[in-house]
Amino acid sequence: MRQLAIFILLLITVSVWAQDKKSLAPTPPMGWNSWNWFGKKEINEKNMKECIDAMVTEGLLDAGYNYFVIDGGWRDTHLGPNGELLSNPEKFPNGMKDLADYAHSKGLKFGLHTVPGTHDCGGDPVGGFGHEEVQVKQFVDWGLDFIKLDKCKYADGWNEELLKTTYLKWSELLRKSNRDILFSISAYKYRDWYPVNCQMARTTRDIAARVGKGARFDSNDGAKGLISAMTVANENNESSQFAKNGYWNDPDMLVTGEQGLNFEEQKSHFGLWCIMSAPLFLGNDPRKMTKEEKGIILNKDCIAINQYPTEQGRRIKVKGNVEIWRKNLKNGNLALLILNRGETEIKNNILSLSELNIKDKLGIKNVYSGEFFSSKKGKMSVDLMPHGCAFLLLEKNN
């Protein structure tokens, strides 16, 4: 009887944890992260507060981007005497609680990057290993709403069992804390213990961004660690079946707004992240957005497709340079992203709806252009610019 009672208690505990976890991410989280644009060296209290202001004044918060996350570069180069994290006194003289309070005063949620090993990715000995309780208490006291726990470095080298044990310890401490803190794991590939222990997790390598050598759409330089948006999308697609209400696969932050991608490539990149139900974390400078960039990242239809909690959209067909990605929405509605990975324009690309297993008569909207059109004899035609896409919302006719 005692064993049965313990088993029932464990089931109840897991059930409560699952309910709590889902309440933090019923849909893919949205926000902004400092790393892709500012990196470690360029962030400071002044420009982070300016970016917080811009999130509000430029309409990002109203569109759903409600998490403001400061990535690497906020910490001092050493821990305090009790293993506590210290803010860099020159860049952030008023500390992280001041920034969290400022973000909250503007209606935003606030998050930080931290590391579970012994050192951060730059080699400073500021890791949380052995100091987890102290650091989680700090984050609760500072009023954090989001933690990105980045694998980085462990002095004796990570192995899979140590990695799992360490991340699960953080997960348990956060669950037991008296604050709702969204837990984002960044360990560069999918693992089967993610969905019940965090709300979002990286499934990919780092996307090339301004902080390195600039964004790339579909060309890699692995020797320099420059991984394209399309390579990252391919890697994320491999674990598409595991995303669901409460847990979302993370293919890294967005690189919209960067000069490395032209306008068509930015639309395709954002559309892919939307149809993959990826967390939408901007990696731009929100103080200096162009009209064209805002037109992409504030597109209501794109965001609505992303926020449907039905599933992660996935690639369903490849023919030559054309890829078709699909996400089922609700009530028989769906989204399609028709992508041209080639270097030349494709005119009058004809798609058979029956070949895509679409049998109902559906109204079709191009979510970027706003154009409505209908299929003819079960077929539709789209024009595709080089590296461009047709992002389509298909809904049942009333």
Q: 149 is written with which tokens?
A: 């726990």
What is the Cα–Cα distance from 1 to 374, expressed in whole angstroms? 64
What is the Cα–Cα distance from 312 to 189, expressed in whole angstroms? 17
Candidate list 124, 145, 206, 252, residue with the active-site label: 206
For 316, residues 6+ apart whose C-beta sits below 8 A from its C-beta are 324, 325, 326, 356
Q: 140 is written with which tokens?
A: 């609760």
What is the Cα–Cα distance from 49 to 102, expressed in whole angstroms? 8
User: Could you tell me which of 252, 262, 258, 214 has the C-alpha nearest to residue 231?
Assistant: 252
Cα–Cα separations (whole angstroms), residue 58 to 50, 281, 305, 370, 387: 12, 16, 22, 22, 28
Residue 152 CA, chain-centre distance (Å), reads 18
Q: 240 is written with which tokens?
A: 């598409």
Candidate list 150, 250, 252, 285, residue with the active-site label: 150
Q: Which residues of 186-208 are buried (b: 16+ CB within 10 A; e: fewer)?
A: bbeebbeebbebbbbbbbbbbbb
Element containing residue 325 per DSSP (H, E): strand 322-328
User: Could you tell me which of 218, 185, 221 has the C-alpha nearest to residue 200?
Assistant: 185
Is 221 one of the annotated active-site residues of the chain?
Answer: no
Strand partners for 226? 221
CB-hemisphere CA count at 13 Å for 212?
18
What is the Cα–Cα distance from 283 to 148, expressed in whole angstroms? 15
For 72, residues 6+ apart whose C-beta sits below 8 A from its C-beta are 35, 39, 40, 113, 120, 121, 122, 150
User: In this structure, how many other beta carbons lie within 10 angstroms of the beta carbon of residue 357?
Assistant: 9
- Residue 37's φ and ψ, nearest 5 degrees, are -95, -45
Is 62 one of the annotated active-site residues of the chain?
Answer: no
Active site amino acids:
150, 206
